[in-house]
């Protein structure tokens, strides 16, 4: 009977906590009820380097918003993160990564707190307040989720932890919510004439309508139009040989971007051969990371133009 009573209490706590999310028409993710929103920063379309598991970071891009919050009295970091986990899944989302030990993560000789802190500093998120400045190193719970919306997907990154002892906030829980609402960037339709003219004039042509999720080499379904046109062009010119070159922007290390660009180029070749009947001998996959930009990477528009697949005369 005692164990049943304890189980009932646990379930009751979870149910009460789940109802403690206030609906807000302007918020993609509701705020834990009773929390104090200290900062609410909107940055527009941006990129963010996200720790996705113990061994991987990936660059996610979209409309970036960040909220720094102080939880109500008596709420632990674990309670906050567990309730957000439940909230995301109840909204038909998925949990991509969840850890209770983020500080042990080290990727490419970079600590978790270094990655998290760099993102904050680069976007003016550091402050002169002890707890806020020290927060990357204070995070004890970390979650990455993804939720669908009618027109996009939303990545949700949440870190929770206690405040800094020197600020007399060691008994207070703080959490940071980062949302990135993805928006596809249209670059124009690919046509046979576009491919032919580009190759005749410059010996290469950029294709922006082959889509991948950030950090992924899996080709998305909406790439079918571009792949169909490329396959038709190749089959009309069976005697010619081409390089399929993957390009990235300069966010992240060269090594990571090189592997990604190579994997994407290979995926395009494989798809053209297996899915569209293109002769494999016509194509060679090459990755060059961010070694050949078409414009400066200092703006999001520039980075978007640099992320591309090119067809190059061989």
- Could you give all domains of the chain from N- to C-terminal order, each with its CATH number? 13-181 (no CATH), 192-313 (3.30.1330.60)
* Residues contacting residue 289 through CB under 8 Å, at least 6 positions apart: 247, 248, 254, 257, 258, 260, 261
pLDDT of residue 10: 36
Residue 71: pLDDT band with limits 50, 70, 90: very high
DSSP three-state, residue 18: helix
d(CA 239, CA 219): 27
Q: Which runs of consecutive H residues, i.e. helices, occur in the chain?
A: 2-18, 77-90, 112-122, 130-138, 192-202, 224-236, 254-276, 300-306
d(CA 173, CA 236): 64
User: How far is the first Cα of the chain from the last one, in angstroms, to the nearest whole number?
Assistant: 76
Residue 125: pLDDT band with limits 50, 70, 90: low
DSSP three-state, residue 20: coil
* Residue 222 tokens, joined: 């909406």
Query: Among 8-17, 20-29, 100-109, which is the least confidently predicted range?
Result: 8-17
Residue 230: pLDDT band with limits 50, 70, 90: very high
Q: Is 226 or 201 the better-scoring residue by pLDDT?
A: 226
pLDDT of residue 44: 81
Mean pLDDT for 218-247 is 94
pTM across the whole model: 0.54
Mean pLDDT for 225-235 is 94
Q: Is 260 or 47 the better-scoring residue by pLDDT?
A: 260
pLDDT of residue 208: 87
pLDDT of residue 59: 80
Q: Is the pLDDT of residue 283 over 50?
A: yes
The C-alpha angle 141, 63, 19, rounded to 5 degrees, equals 50
Residue 97: pLDDT band with limits 50, 70, 90: very high
* Residue 207 tokens, joined: 């294709």
pLDDT of residue 218: 93
d(CA 264, CA 258): 10
Contact 65, 43 (CB under 8 A): yes
Nearest C-alpha neighbor of 143 from the set 129, 123, 122, 157: 157
Query: Among 3-12, 230-239, 288-297, 299-308, which is the least confidently predicted range?
Result: 3-12
Query: Among 73-77, 84-88, 158-162, which is the least confidently predicted range?
Result: 84-88
Mean pLDDT for 25-30 is 62
To the nearest 10°, report the CA torsion of 153, 157, 158, 163.
Answer: -150
Q: Is 130 or 293 the better-scoring residue by pLDDT?
A: 293
């Amino acid at each position: 009977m005692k164990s049943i009573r304890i189980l009932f209490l646990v379930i009751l706590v979870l149910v009460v906590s789940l109802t403690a999310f206030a609906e807000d028409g302007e918020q993609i993710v509701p705020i834990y009820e009773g929390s104090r929103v200290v900062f609410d920063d909107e940055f527009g379309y941006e990129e963010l380097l996200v720790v996705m598991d113990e061994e991987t970071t990936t660059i996610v891009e979209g409309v970036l918003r960040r909220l720094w919050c102080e939880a109500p009295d008596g709420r632990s970091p674990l309670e906050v993160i567990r309730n957000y986990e439940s909230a995301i899944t109840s909204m038909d989302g998925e949990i991509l990564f969840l850890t209770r030990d983020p500080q042990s993560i080290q990727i490419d000789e970079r600590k978790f707190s270094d990655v998290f802190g760099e993102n904050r500093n680069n976007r003016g998120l550091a402050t002169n307040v002890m707890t806020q400045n020290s927060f990357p190193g204070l995070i004890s719970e970390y979650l990455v989720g993804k939720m669908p919306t009618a027109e996009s997907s939303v990545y949700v990154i949440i870190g929770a932890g206690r405040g800094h002892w020197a600020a007399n906030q060691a008994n207070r829980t703080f959490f940071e919510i980062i949302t990135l609402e993805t928006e596809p960037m249209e670059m124009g339709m690919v046509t046979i004439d576009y491919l032919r003219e580009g190759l005749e004039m410059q010996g290469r042509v950029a294709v922006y309508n082959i889509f991948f999720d950030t950090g992924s080499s899996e080709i998305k379904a909406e790439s079918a139009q571009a792949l169909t046109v490329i396959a038709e062009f190749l089959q009309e010119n069976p005697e010619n040989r081409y390089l399929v070159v993957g390009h990235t922007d300069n966010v992240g290390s060269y090594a990571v971007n090189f592997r990604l660009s190579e994997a994407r180029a290979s995926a395009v070749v494989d798809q053209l051969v297996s899915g569209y009947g293109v002769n494999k001998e016509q194509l060679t996959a090459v990755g060059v990371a961010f070694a050949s930009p078409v414009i400066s990477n200092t703006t999001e528009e520039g980075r978007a133009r640099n992320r591309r697949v090119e067809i190059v005369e061989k």
